[in-house]
Chains A and B, each alone.
Chain A
């Protein structure tokens, strides 16, 4: 593993087999994610983004190739936010938010206070004792994000974590999320089908083709305005340039001209 590289995937492929049927989900994927970088994967629905993420985490065994995570960083903590919030229904909001920290070792009052603050900052004050079924989908997703971020992981995997959240809240959350990743030096792999989200968040963006998923292009966004603000960044001329490039990569040239 090269210095300052936390995640390496080489020639990665995954084929799902069911009897005589074989489905190639992704093939020949190679990526490198630098330390503390936000790495976004963009692609159409069903292109294998989530499969790629699960391969990187180790939840799936690759059919070809391999994934290497920096062992030291992995041992210091990883976290995973799924597309739909997977809060444990028998735990309160606070207990769910504390789960990541709880797995790392004994809890103390400093950690509990830190996570209570996180809950307040995400606009969930007063819901600490609520059970997950009492929350809306967006609120549950926020708790899932708090659980991941506040466990202070060194590597974070996110699978479209803002997809269930309304547009305005999503912009606020994206800004906060990017700031937290920067402040704590978290290496993040962020899967999304939202091009604008990827442009704002990503230090690097890879675009995947439809199934079987392959990487068809890579971009390094350099926003001249508002690179730390999900709203202001839209004033940046590079934002729309990159948007249209990725849009074309995804095969939407014709629909654009209409």
Chain B
């Protein structure tokens, strides 16, 4: 089967987008009720411009981005770190697994009131929710990665009398890195969701707060304009995660190969 060229695919995607925007614009303009419920793309653009000029959209953008990025980083480091370290002891891993799975199945919303008690209603509550949303996925993926590293690699090092720590650094960490990085990409959405939920519960700034306030005023175009900010944030985070994935070889070198032979 012939595959269309990259340019052709992009062209078709733009065409589909334009058609959808035109349909949306037409439907929004068809009646005042329709405009009330779905707005129009042109109204969204005007609101976006207003948000940038009068509401410091960039500040809200940075706040939500900061909450999501910190939550993603803390969740990935904690979850992946624990998932990888549990490779050392199958017994401890088997004891811990049901507890961690049980915690992971709890919806973030269920923990939100507790987060307010523990962290207040400020920035760190949202970071905590974003962390909570990401840590379990990171844990389970990293642990799965650590335990599925090919046994012949481990045997080779055992055959050289390597210590457990050497096997962990030289084989388990680099061998699991693909799992860790793919979980990080997966967690971009969860981190944003956690931060967003936090802003929905209690906030006076952030993109979630903007959407909530606009929805409260039935200003649908403004809510959608703020949602555009969330989409841009998601694209930036996903792009960053993809960049790290593409450069994982350098990361592996840094983590597990002595500096003296990086470029040898």
B172 to chain A, nearest CB (A): 11
Which B residues between 221 and 264 are near A, CB-CB below 8 angstroms? Answer: 249, 252, 256-258, 260-261, 264
B24 to chain A, nearest CB (A): 47
Chain B residues with CB under 8 Å of A153's CB are 160
Please pick, from A57, A84, A88, A151, the residue contacting B171 in the complex, using a CB distance under 8 A.
Answer: A88
Chain A residues with CB under 8 Å of B170's CB are 88, 99, 102-103
B257 in contact with A82 (CB, 8 Å): no
B162 in contact with A90 (CB, 8 Å): no
Interface size on A (CB < 8 Å)? 30
B261 in contact with A57 (CB, 8 Å): no
Bound complex: CA of A92 vs CA of B263, how far in Å?
A: 10
B36 contacts chain A at the CB level, 8 A cutoff? no
Chain A residues with CB under 8 Å of B157's CB are 99, 103
A71 to chain B, nearest CB (A): 11
Which A residues between 139 and 175 are near B, CB-CB below 8 angstroms? Answer: 151, 153, 157
A95 in contact with B257 (CB, 8 Å): yes
Bound complex: CA of A90 vs CA of B260, how far in Å?
A: 17
A202 contacts chain B at the CB level, 8 A cutoff? no
Bound complex: CA of A103 vs CA of B258, how far in Å?
A: 11
Please pick, from A74, A82, A88, A108, the residue contacting B161 in the complex, using a CB distance under 8 A.
Answer: A74
Bound complex: CA of A103 vs CA of B169, how far in Å?
A: 11
Segment at the A interface, from B69-77, B148-156, B206-214:
B148-156
Chain A residues with CB under 8 Å of B260's CB are 107-108, 112
Chain B residues with CB under 8 Å of A233's CB are none
B160 in contact with A79 (CB, 8 Å): yes
Chain A binding site: helix, strand, loop or mixed by DSSP? loop
Chain A residues with CB under 8 Å of B159's CB are 57, 59, 78-80, 82, 157
B157 to chain A, nearest CB (A): 7
B166 contacts chain A at the CB level, 8 A cutoff? yes
B152 in contact with A86 (CB, 8 Å): yes
A42 contacts chain B at the CB level, 8 A cutoff? no
Chain A residues with CB under 8 Å of B257's CB are 91, 95
Q: Which residue of B lies closest to A91 (CB)?
A: B257
A112 in contact with B261 (CB, 8 Å): yes
Please pick, from A84, A88, A102, the residue contacting B258 in the complex, using a CB distance under 8 A.
Answer: A102
Binding site for A on B (CB under 8 A): 150, 152-153, 155-162, 166, 170-171, 174-175, 177, 249, 252, 256-258, 260-261, 264
Binding site for B on A (CB under 8 A): 57-59, 74, 77-80, 82, 84, 86, 88, 90-92, 94-95, 98-100, 102-103, 106-108, 112, 128, 151, 153, 157
A and B contact pairs by CB, cutoff 8 A, 23 listed: A57-B159, A58-B158, A59-B155, A74-B161, A77-B160, A78-B160, A79-B159, A80-B156, A80-B158, A82-B155, A82-B156, A86-B153, A90-B252, A90-B256, A94-B264, A102-B170, A103-B157, A103-B160, A103-B170, A106-B258, A107-B258, A107-B260, A112-B260
